[in-house]
Amino acid sequence: GSEQSLRKWRIAFYCDKSTVNTNRRVTILDTTLRDGEQTPGVSFTLEQKIEIAHQLSDIGVDVIEAGFPASSDVEFETVKRICAEEGIRPKICGLARSVKADVDRCIEAGVDMVHVFIPTSEIQRTYTIKKSHAEVLAITREIITYARSKCDYVMFSPMDATRTEPSELIEICKAADEAGTTIINIPDTVGVSTPSMIKPLIAMIRENVKCKIDVHCHNDFGLATANTIAAVEGGADQIQVTVNGIGERAGNADLAQTVMILKSIYGIETNIRTEKLVETSRMVSRFSQIAVLPIQPVVGENAFSHESGIHSHGVMANPGTFEPGIMTPEMVGHRRRLKLGKHVGKHAVRQMLEDINVNPSDPELDMIVAKVKEISGRGRKVTEFDLFEIAKIITGSH
Ligand code: KIV
Ligand code: ZN
């Protein structure tokens, strides 16, 4: 409708023209079960992993990274169970270091896609695998050729890509492409990229390889979601995310935020059934025991809550006044809530009372509002139940 054409107009006016591409789709690789489980303190049980895998399937992710089979026998058995599970539609991916034994372990577990990685930045090459660029290049060619001989789908990650010398990164990506990788993932392993750095980086890789490009952003500076979106602007075909943004250190790009930014602001579709985002967030919060902040975008308790009189009055007349409008609570499986507090207005209180069939007179309403403001002004929380009790006393109703 008109909001959509306004949005396109705004994007065309402010952004790089390459961003405006109406028919684009982006696929989603969810790594909640792999990078997400690497969150310090998080450990899912087998049953929880299977339940999460079904949920990810139901909401429409394209690829599930189920784990790192070579890391332990328990991990191997878990990935194997997920691969064997009936009714899971996405491709199942397993992580592997660039050694044949790791690739073999993924194949034995029954994955659809092997994700091989190798450090490419000087600091990681030197201090983790003690290899030169030339050696990494040779290993890349060999391992991709091997993995492709065992599996139709191979993803290759030059780890720490954003801190890798650009000419070396291009050389390695070209080698992986020539050796037959299906997709190259560009990881911002320690989250040091910015949107204006990663967009041209992805565009540069795009110019040098034929295969698809994916991106995996960490949140060390709080830029994981912004960088992921910028990577899509630069031409990424697939993005890696986790539910609630869990993952190593400060986590990864958040599924709900990235999908809704692409859908609502850019008009770029994914296969995600967005109305299940809140439900998915709650499940992973429960299993990971990591609480979602009330102010968390999209899925947080307050994402569509209004307390101030001006805002509540506005959204009662038209929700688009003080909400994005292009993203509604219904779109993400949320509810709009009017909250009680010291900024509450008369219209919101009247609406809340009418919803429970209490119809105070104007002077009674003034007294009810004054009481709510007085209690919350003392720093106390006022619930809808408290409001009902206050109204009962003031109106003399039962
Ligand atoms: O952050 C990272 O670089 C990773 C790789 C395994 C892709 O998680
Ligand atoms: Zn990672």
pLDDT in tens, 21-55: 567 899 999 999 999 999 999 999 999 999 999 99
> Residue 308 C-alpha to ligand 2 middle, in angstroms?
40
Ligand 1 atom 1, closest CA: 189
Please list, in sequence order, all residues whose beta carbon lies within 8 angstroms of the beta carbon of residue 188, skipping any fewer than 6 positions away.
Answer: 161, 162, 198, 215, 216, 217, 218, 224, 227
Mean pLDDT of the chain: 95
> Residue 67 C-alpha to ligand 1 middle, in angstroms?
12
Nearest ligand, CA 251: 2
Whether pLDDT at 160 is above 90: yes
Mean per-residue pLDDT, 300-325? 91
pLDDT in tens, 253-274: 999 999 999 999 988 999 999 9
Model confidence at 17, pLDDT cuts 50, 70, 90, reads: low
Mean per-residue pLDDT, 162-166? 98
* Tokens 């007179």 -> residue: 361
- What is the C-alpha to C-alpha distance for residues 254 and 30, in angstroms, rounded to an integer? 10
Whether pLDDT at 397 is above 80: no
List C-alpha distances in Å: 186 to 95, 117, 204, 213, 376. 15, 10, 12, 7, 49
Predicted pLDDT at 398: 57
Nearest ligand, CA 163: 1
Predicted pLDDT at 217: 98
Ligand 1 atom 6, closest CA: 117
Ligand 1 atom 2, closest CA: 189
> Residue 372 C-alpha to ligand 2 middle, in angstroms?
47
> Residue 74 C-alpha to ligand 1 middle, in angstroms?
21
Mean per-residue pLDDT, 3-16? 72
List C-alpha distances in Å: 22 to 15, 25, 211, 261, 389. 14, 9, 22, 14, 52
Burial track 143-171 (b if 16+ CB lie within 10 A, e otherwise) = bbebbbeebebbbbbbbbbbbbeeebbbb
> Residue 38 C-alpha to ligand 2 middle, in angstroms?
9
Mean per-residue pLDDT, 373-391? 92
Mean per-residue pLDDT, 353-375? 94
- Residue 108 is encoded by which pair of tokens? 């034995």
Tell me if 216 CB under 6 Å of ligand 1. yes
Tell me if 313 CB under 6 Å of ligand 1. no
Choose the residue to mutate in 39, 120, 159 for probing ligand 1, maximizing ligand atoms within 8 Å of C-beta.
159
Mean per-residue pLDDT, 156-176? 98
Q: What is the ipTM of this complex?
A: 0.99
- What is the C-alpha to C-alpha distance for residues 126 and 140, in angstroms, rounded to an integer? 16
Tell me if 115 CB under 6 Å of ligand 1. no
Tell me if 159 CB under 6 Å of ligand 1. yes
> Residue 317 C-alpha to ligand 1 middle, in angstroms?
47
- What is the C-alpha to C-alpha distance for residues 186 and 241, in angstroms, rounded to an integer? 13
Predicted pLDDT at 2: 67
Mean per-residue pLDDT, 282-302? 97
Q: What percent of the chain has pLDDT over 70?
A: 97
Mean per-residue pLDDT, 65-88? 98
Read off φ and ψ for residue 384, nearest 5 degrees: -65, -30
Model confidence at 179, pLDDT cuts 50, 70, 90, reads: very high
Mean per-residue pLDDT, 350-377? 94
Choose the residue to mutate in 157, 162, 163, 192 for probing ligand 1, maximizing ligand atoms within 8 Å of C-beta.
157
Nearest ligand, CA 186: 1
Whether pLDDT at 147 is above 80: yes
Tell me if 218 CB under 6 Å of ligand 1. yes
Minimum-distance ligand 1 atom for the alpha carbon of 252: 1
Predicted pLDDT at 1: 56
Q: What is the pairing mode between strands 337-338 and 183-188?
A: unpaired
